[in-house]
Amino acid sequence: MTDLFDVSGKTALVTGGSRGIGLMIADGLVRAGAHVIVSSRKTADIEAAGEQLGALGDCHAIPGDISTVEGAQALAAATRARFSSLDILVNNAGAVWGAPLEDFPAVGWQKVMSTNVEGIFNLTVALLPELRAAAEVEDPARVINIGSIDGLRTPSVPNYSYSASKAAVHMLTRHLAHELAAEHITVNAIAPGPFESRMMAWALENPDRRAAVEREVPLGRIGRGDDVAGLTMFLASRAGAYMTGTVIPLDGGITGCSSPGAVTDQSVPLT
């Protein structure tokens, strides 16, 4: 049982790893003994995160922008230069946009869909050789996509492209899982609810709004780093080796326990 959740020695890439849920996941993996690369678009931010995590274990920072095919391929090449095989790919990098319905701009669709959906697809495909090199029957390679409960239920804020993109991430997860299962690569998604992040700062940094969000969570609190790191390590370890094609809500019971029609403002309303 002591080895059931062991990820020590595994290689991992976490995109969007400079802050929020990505940093929480990378922190957990590094502390658990994995060899981790963190990546995000802004060089200064990801280098600071890499330095912070490097003090805890083996972690390196690589700037990368997966919103273009070229950017995804460049990040894959940089990962390949460091790891000949990749045990864990965490597709966390994402973008959000909010605007009133009739004012919602084309760029709000292009930016969000190119990062949240196309970025996941392009990076995963680009890293397939490394994932295949790590894959074994008893210990598959793992792809873990970060979706959202906004892709499972209707948000009460005007983040139309974001909610649509996360629903797409969930279906893409299932489709890739079906395609890659025979190659011993599992693909699962985590659909977080409210967590401490830049995306939710507009609500959680205001005491009244934070209290309102907490009231809408059946378990009565905001998600913590060990919540998402723990689920990630379950999916990445022997404990999760027989799971693929799943979308797991990590939301304190919002989607599973709330009354029909209940909604929680958990996504930033305006970019």
Which residues are catalytically annotated? 162
How far does Cα 146 stand from its chain's mean position?
A: 3
What backbone torsions phi and psi does residue 202 show, to the nearest 5 degrees?
-55, -30
Distance CA 151, CA 166 (A): 5
Contact 56, 34 (CB under 8 A): no
Contact 187, 244 (CB under 8 A): yes
Contact 90, 14 (CB under 8 A): yes
Q: What are the angstrom distances between the C-alpha of 211 and each of 205, 217, 265?
A: 10, 10, 12
